[in-house]
Amino acid sequence: METPTVLFYVFAAGAVASALGMVLNLRNTVAGAMNLVATMVCLAGIYLLLEAYLVAVIQIMVYGGAIVVLFLFVVMLLNLRGDTFPPGRLRLAKVAAVLLVLAVVGRGLALLTRALPEPGPVPEGFGGYALLGVALYTDYVLLVEMASLLLLAAIVGALVLAKRRID
Amino acid sequence: MPVEVILKTAFILLVVVGAFAPVITWVERKQSAVMQDRIGANRADVAGITVLGLLHPLADVIKLLTKEDVIPRGANRVLHTLAPVIAAVPAIIAYAIIPYGSTYTFGDHELSLVAADPDWGLLYIFAIGSIATYGTVIAGWASNNNWAHLGSLRASAQMISYEVTLGLSVTGCFMVFETLKLTDMATAQDTTFRIFGFVELLFGLSLPAWLERFPFTVPAWGIFLQPLGFLMFLTCIMAENKRPPFDIPEAESELIAGYFLEYSGMRFGLFFMSEFIEVVVIAGLVATIFLGGWSVPWVSQAAIVGTVEPVYGAGFANGLCLLIHFLTFLAKVVVMIWLQMLLRWSLPRFRYDQVMDLCWKIMLPLSIANIFATGLVMLWIRG
């Protein structure tokens, strides 16, 4: 097998294993969060193999770095330990999880029986920041501004809520 | 090609991890001793030979390797073991994209002195830096100790805050050099600009003749193009490294040693080492983005090669240029390490709220203003 194929299977196995680790580590939230980070990093590796470099870096920076650190911060601030979650509360979720796994496995088997099409050629500059930047600030500039307005409203809202507690 | 990459990687590991990091642990002691009027590290000896105290790093390593490795009761064994590795690995691999020389042609072969050169260069550093946070956070949590826990809470808050400002403070340089690639940034700084050239560019005035007679040129380094960006970048990246005056997560006076309180032996050694490796990485980064990297001030690569080539031939000219550039880069890195050590021993510690205020109330608005001003000036000049 070629190196990219080997790397793909390594990252894919890592992503699945760490995702399972996150789900199974219900009692130990910090270990669960670390497994989530591992999943993000493995996914970023797969994005790199797909030549989507910017997405890979943002995957690590934003999801792996910033967001899960915030999860961890909250978990550690509350100092959740194993006995915080009584067993048997998540019966419905378990049923849903089993159904979901069955659906995914069935879909995967259906895909495996068919031959996949060859990937098309990669356009020039694909996956870099330049193309994305041009698209964001020309075609989608209105959407970017709307998103920033939404975030600003969220920040102001959070400040108002937090300020009431401090006063 | 793989042989070349492996050689470059081995070179970085040898120089940065094997030579620089141990030596600057000695530099830190010796510099503090000089600054505090002490004699300093001079006792470790082999058969009475002390070599200025340079044997101290060796003694440290032997001591750390032979110490008992304690995992406290109630600690999470897996995460406690893993945390020092998560802290040390990002520090080591961050060096991969810092160029320590330009590109040189030897016959048909082009040799560029950088281990990896992706288009998204600096984003790699930010991604690596955000993973490094977990080392400290997990270390404190897994130790099952309240002081360590407090330290890691502080570490996560501090590092995530300064990551935001770190990215924004260097955005001005992205705009000026129009690239994220560190090799391109260094190449763009291998030139000069006239100090009073902005008068012509901005106001359309011609300079008086007496001024033109003096060659007032400055190297086109980031520190001259983005002075505010330089100050903010240095502050933020030093805060990311958590050394004094930003040692809030360690805080010897209140948290004993903070997040690595429950570590001993070589596991503690890894935290200790990663701090010093980061000092070297910071020095390399700042030297590349703001001090022109490998470029010699006022003398461009073309000038060096062009002068030497007619006399001694192209191969010798490129080899000489390589050597000069590498030594220049090394000198800049040493200056930046010295500056970090100087700041570490001359500034008093910040209080926790002061660190946060500095980040969110001063640096963040300033960095956004810097981006805005840079954009305005660039629009004005380039139309």
Question: Residue B315 above 80 pLDDT?
Answer: no
Q: 326-355 in B: which are within 8 Å (CB) of A?
A: none
pLDDT class of A145 with cuts at 50, 70, 90: very high
Is the alpha carbon torsion for B7, B13, B15, B18 positive or negative?
A: negative
Query: Between A and B, how many CB-CB pairs are < 8 A?
Result: 74
Could you say which residues from 110 to 139 on chain A have a Cβ atom under 8 Å away from some Cβ of chain B? Answer: 128-129
ipTM of this predicted structure = 0.77
Cα angle B247-B245-B231, degrees, rounded to a multiple of 5: 120
Handedness of CA A131, A137, A141, A146 (dihedral sign): positive
What is the crossing angle of helices B314-346 and B21-35, to 10°? Answer: 50
Domain assignments of chain A as residue spans, ordered by start: 3-127, 129-167
For the A3-127 domain, the top CATH level (class) is mainly alpha
Q: Are B243 and B43 in contact (CB under 8 A)?
A: no
pLDDT digits (tens, 9 = 90+) for A75-121: 777 766 555 555 666 678 778 888 988 998 888 888 777 777 777 77
Question: How far off is chain A from B168, nearest CA to CA, in Å?
Answer: 14
Predicted local confidence at residue A156, as pLDDT = 92
Interface test with chain A among B76, B122, B124, B130, by most A beta carbons within 10 Å: B130
Cβ neighbors of A79 (< 8 A, separation 6 or more) are B149
- Cβ of A57 within 8 Å of Cβ of B124? The answer is yes
Counting beta carbons within 10 angstroms of the beta carbon of residue B228, is it exposed (0 to 12), middle (13 to 18) or buried (19 or more)? middle
Q: Two tokens at B207?
A: 């300079």
- Residue by residue, DSSP assigns B270-336 as HHHHHHHHHHHHHHHHHHHHHS-TTPBTTB-HHHHHHHHHHHH-HHHHHHHHHHHHHHHHHHHHHHH
Q: Is the pLDDT of residue B213 over 70?
A: no
Chain A nearest-CA distance from B16, in A, is 25
Q: How much is the mean pLDDT over chain B?
A: 82
Give per-residue pLDDT as tens, B3-26: 777 888 888 788 777 777 778 888
**Region of poorest pLDDT, from A139-148, B111-120, B362-371:** B111-120
Taking CB atoms within 8 Å and a gap of at least 24, the contacts of B14-21 are: B16/B92, B16/B95, B16/B277, B16/B280, B16/B281, B17/B92, B17/B273, B17/B277, B20/B277, B20/B280, B21/B273, B21/B276, B21/B277, B21/B279, B21/B280
Which positions in chain A touch B126 (Cβ < 8 Å)?
A: 57, 61
